[in-house]
Amino acid sequence: MSTTMTRTPEEETRHHVENTGRVGAGVFNPRQLVSSFPDALRKLSPRHQARNPVMFVVWVGSVLATVFAIGDPNVFAVGTALWLWFTVLFANLAEAVAEGRGKAQAESLRKTKKDTVARRLVGKDVEERVPGVELRIGDLVVVEAGEVVPGDGDVVEGIATVDESAITGESAPVIRESGGDRSAVTGGTTVLSDRIVVKIATKPGESFVDRMIALVEGAQRQKTPNEIALTILLSTLTIIFLLAVVALQPMAGFAGSLQSVIVLTALLVCLIPTTIGALLSAIGIAGMDRLVQRNVLATSGRAVEAAGDVSTLLLDKTGTITFGNRRATDLIPVGGTTMADLARAARLSSLADGTPEGRSIVELCTEQHGLPASPTEHEMSGQFVEFSAQTRMSGVDLDGTSVRKGAASAVKAWTGQDASAEVDEIVDRISSGGGTPLVVAEGKAIRGVIRLSDVVKPGMRERFDELRAMGIRTVMITGDNPLTAKAIAEDAGVDDYLAEAKPEDKMALIRKEQEGGRLVAMTGDGTNDAPALAQADVGVAMNTGTMAAKEAGNMVDLDSDPTKLIEIVEIGKQLLITRGALTTFSIANDLAKYFAILPAMFAGIHPQLGKLNIMSLHSPSSAILSAVIFNALVIVALIPLALRGVRYRPASARSLLRRNLLVYGLGGIVTPFVGIWLIDLLVRLIPGM
């Protein structure tokens, strides 16, 4: 039996690294700067720079400064030209480092891909061997023990255990079978037992592994709506400052202090939002990278961004909020039976019950009553009766005595007598509380009742409290009756629940939420979940689910852990917060550059401007060069933050805004004053300055 465990983000990252060997994705390594430097140089081409309007202006300014520095070489002109080029280079470096981490992960994924020879069916029992790259959608292929699945698809015949460790990092094999919600197989995984027939569902080069490789390399990363909007804002600010700087020269000429092209270029570069312009692409790539660390494949950056704006979260009860199977939580003796006798009878009746519920009864009797977990030699001599859907009972015939456990009606029929009022009352009470009662009988006498409960996973209430603090409403979806659903919802701490849910009910709920302007996220794995996954703004399909579900959603969780939806929301919010924080910092630090450059430009003709030189910078040329140097170095200093992301804590929008303004707004004002002043102390030592 496979049990999904809830891990903290730190445990998840450590688990992922230990199992997949994909190292360094989450932690910035300074050596990445060195290894990414050649890529940064290649990105200096004008064609690449034209994709980023802000940095293209800096690139053009660098070219102009270089031309004038060559025509009139001096320490200030050459130094300014060099540092303008460094500004462009460092912006490229931020993007190259983010892409380099993706390429390292892509290389590890490529190792999982193997050139396979597929056994394609051309008739009922006729096979032909063809290269895996020649398979087309709808082809049927046979895969047996020891063979690699040649492509993504659904099992249409047979059942087998499959090793998916190459894709998911999980060493435990999984069951894949036809006709259920766990029929999907991924190309590159290995069949460990039995024989299955797989219907190919993707074209060559479009498998989940191929798409994941392209995604982490950034080859298919499209700008998200918020990123496009921010790019337009930054471009608008750049145009405004460009017009302001161009208009400055006629005024300077009228005042008798014409400025050189190099000085005007330095002013423009320092005033436009170069910091966020340089880091914007890296922030987006890093957001995708954090998803890949969690073994989540997103079909677009839009889905990641939408996750950060989600206000309603729809969660399946079973396997997400509760463990996948009901567990024995209590033994209730009746009719004078002692607890020890009931525990002994309950254990005996469950030894032949191979269901998860039956095993949980044996575990309860072992842990709480000290009984052995395995049958003794004497017990093995009895006649075991396995649980079946027809009898709805299990038990053992031992030493002339029969012991049975099962549904109340089935045990009543077996004993041939009506249960007492005490038993009926206990059964009704357990049922009304959302549990499942199992009656235990020995020798035609009822000994007691076992309570089976949907056990809420540890820590779920705390996680829902965190989501509530984010302003996210949680809704539990279940096929249980309203009474059971209410009990589980109250225990788990969700905001609302939908009982006896059908596919059309899920769709109606999603549409109702979206009509109010809210973004909705949900998880699913079955074909019946596909419409709702497609309708949701963030639809996370389980990798163990059907191809229909995976194609309908905009994310696929390769670990098939439904609770990961909560982490996906946190990653989306971290992406948005990081972008907002660095935008605030970038715009705020322009203030210090005003105080550095403008007094330096006009203090000669307007001495009163010298009062604005609050940093006591050495000279006009050192002030301008120091501002340009700081403008370049701050990009490098912020690369680790852009890649790692601003730490996210669940809080309201107001508190997040307050924190943003205090830390990155105020910090963006103070840091340049200190940085430019320190750089000026060094620049003034250069001869000629």
Which residue positions form the known binding site for ATP?
353, 357, 387-394, 405
Exposed/middle/buried for 183, CB within 10 Å: 0-12, 13-18, 19+?
buried
CA–CA distance, 563 with 7 (Å, rounded to integer): 9
CB 270 within 8 A of CB 58: no
Q: What gap in Å lies between CA 30 and CA 13, rounded to an integer?
A: 20
Q: What length is written for the chain?
A: 689
541 Rama class: left (phi>0) / alpha (psi -120 to 50) / beta: beta
3-state secondary structure of 363: helix
- Tokens 């910090």 belong to 667
Q: Give the residue numbers of the binding site.
A: 353, 357, 387-394, 405, 525, 529
Q: How far is CA 67 from CA 56, 87, 212, 580, 676, in A?
A: 17, 17, 44, 36, 26
What is the DSSP-derived secondary structure letter of residue 609? G
376 class by beta-carbon count within 10 Å (0-12 exposed, 13-18 middle, 19+ buried): exposed
Alpha helices in 558-619 (DSSP H): 564-588, 590-602
At which residue do the structure tokens 């069951």 appear?
175
Residue numbers belonging to the annotated binding site for Mg(2+): 525, 529
Distance from the Cα of residue 541 to its chain's centroid: 12
CA distance 654 to 646: 17
Q: How far apart are the C-alpha atoms of 497 and 475, rounded to whole Å? A: 5
| DSSP bridge partners of 524 | 541
* Tokens describing residue 395: 């038990």
Nearest C-alpha neighbor of 238 from the set 403, 386, 53: 53
Q: Is residue 316 annotated as part of the catalytic site, yes or no?
A: yes
Q: Which long-range contacts (CB under 8 A, 24 or more apart) does 393-398 make?
A: 394/349, 394/350, 394/352, 394/353, 394/358, 395/348, 395/349, 395/352, 396/348, 396/349, 396/351, 396/352, 398/348
> Which of helix, strand or coil describes residue 401?
strand
316, 537, 559, 590: which one is catalytic? 316
Distance between CA atoms of 216 and 328, rounded to whole angstroms? 44
Residues with catalytic function: 316
